[in-house]
Structure 1
Amino acid sequence: MKATLSRRTLLAASLLATAAGAAQAQATVFRVTAIPDESPTELARKAAPLMKYLEGKLGMKVEYTPVTDYAAAVEALVNKKVDLAWFGGFTFVQANVRSGGKVVPLVQREEDEKFRSVFITADPAIKSLADLKGRDLSFGSQSSTSGHLMPRHFLLAAGIEPERDLKRVAFSGAHDATIAAVASGKVQAGALNISVWDKFVADKKVDTARVRVFYTTPAYYDYNWTVHADMPAAQKDKLSAAFLALDKSTPEGAQVLELQRATRFIPTKAENYKSIEGAARSAGLL
Structure 2
Amino acid sequence: MLKRSLALAAGFALSLTATLASAADVLRVSAIPDEAPTELLRKFKPLGEYLEKQIGMKVEFVPVADYPAVVEALATDRLDMAWLGGFTFVQVHLKAKDAIPLVQREQDAQFTSKFISADPAVKSLADLKGKTFAFGSISSTSGSLMPRYFMLQDGIKPETYFSRVAYSGAHDATAAWVQAGKVDAGVLNASVWQKLVDSGKVDIGKVHVFATTPSYYDYNWTVRGSLDPAITAKLKAAFLALDPAVPEQKAILDLQAASRFIETSPENYKGIEEAARAADLLK
- Using the size of structure 2 for normalisation, the TM-score is 0.96
Give the number of equivalent residue pairs. 282
* Unaligned stretches of 5+ residues in structure 1: none
What does the per-residue CA deviation read over 1:148-207, in whole Å, with 9 as the maximum and x for residues that have no partner? 001101111221110111111000000000001101111000000111110111111111
Instruction: Give the corresponding residue for 1:120.
Output: 116
Instruction: Give the corresponding residue for 2:176.
Output: 180
Instruction: Give the corresponding residue for 1:29.
Output: 26
How far off is 1:7 after superposition? 5.5
Work out whether residues 129 and 158 of structure 1, in 8 Å CA contact, stay in contact via their aligned partners in 2: no
Find out whether 1:241 has 2:241 as its counterpart.
no
- 2-structure distance, mates of 1:9, 1:235: 36
Work out whether residues 46 and 260 of structure 1, in 8 Å CA contact, stay in contact via their aligned partners in 2: yes
Counterpart residue identity of residue 52, structure 1: E
Find out whether 1:110 has 2:110 as its counterpart.
no
- 2-structure distance, mates of 1:12, 1:153: 58
How far off is 1:233 after superposition? 2.6
1:158 to 154, 157, 163: 154
Identity rate, percent: 58
Work out whether residues 78 and 228 of structure 1, in 8 Å CA contact, stay in contact via their aligned partners in 2: yes
Cα RMSD (Å) = 1.3
Instruction: Give the corresponding residue for 1:66.
Output: 63
How far off is 1:116 after superposition? 0.4
- 2-structure distance, mates of 1:92, 1:257: 21
Instruction: Give the corresponding residue for 2:198.
Output: 202
- 2-structure distance, mates of 1:15, 1:90: 43
Instruction: Give the corresponding residue for 2:163.
Output: 167
Counterpart residue identity of residue 19, structure 2: A
- 2-structure distance, mates of 1:281, 1:13: 52
How far off is 1:255 after superposition? 1.8
Change (3 A) 1:229 1:19: closer
- 1-structure distance, mates of 2:269, 2:190: 19
Of residues 195-204 and 249-258 in structure 1, the stretch that sits farther from structure 2 once superposed is 249-258
What does the per-residue CA deviation read over 1:259-280, in whole Å, with 9 as the maximum and x for residues that have no partner? 1010000000000011111111
Work out whether residues 130 and 160 of structure 1, in 8 Å CA contact, stay in contact via their aligned partners in 2: no
- 1-structure distance, mates of 2:68, 2:3: 51
**Secondary structure of 2:227's aligned partner:** coil
Instruction: Give the corresponding residue for 1:16.
Output: 13
- 1-structure distance, mates of 2:20, 2:101: 28
- 2-structure distance, mates of 1:187, 1:102: 41
**Secondary structure of 1:107's aligned partner:** strand
Find out whether 1:211 has 2:207 as its counterpart.
yes
Instruction: Give the corresponding residue for 1:276.
Output: 272
Work out whether residues 112 and 222 of structure 1, in 8 Å CA contact, stay in contact via their aligned partners in 2: yes
How far off is 1:130 after superposition? 1.5
1:264 to 256, 260, 275: 260
How far off is 1:12 after superposition? 4.1
Instruction: Give the corresponding residue for 2:126.
Output: 130
* Unaligned stretches of 5+ residues in structure 2: none
Pairing of 1:136-155 with structure 2 (within 5 A): 136-155=132-151
- 1-structure distance, mates of 2:268, 2:36: 28
What does the per-residue CA deviation read over 1:21-49, in whole Å, with 9 as the maximum and x for residues that have no partner? 12211111110010000000000101111
- Using the size of structure 1 for normalisation, the TM-score is 0.95
Work out whether residues 121 and 189 of structure 1, in 8 Å CA contact, stay in contact via their aligned partners in 2: yes
For the pair shown, which has the larger CA radius of gyration, 1 or 2?
1
Instruction: Give the corresponding residue for 2:35.
Output: 38
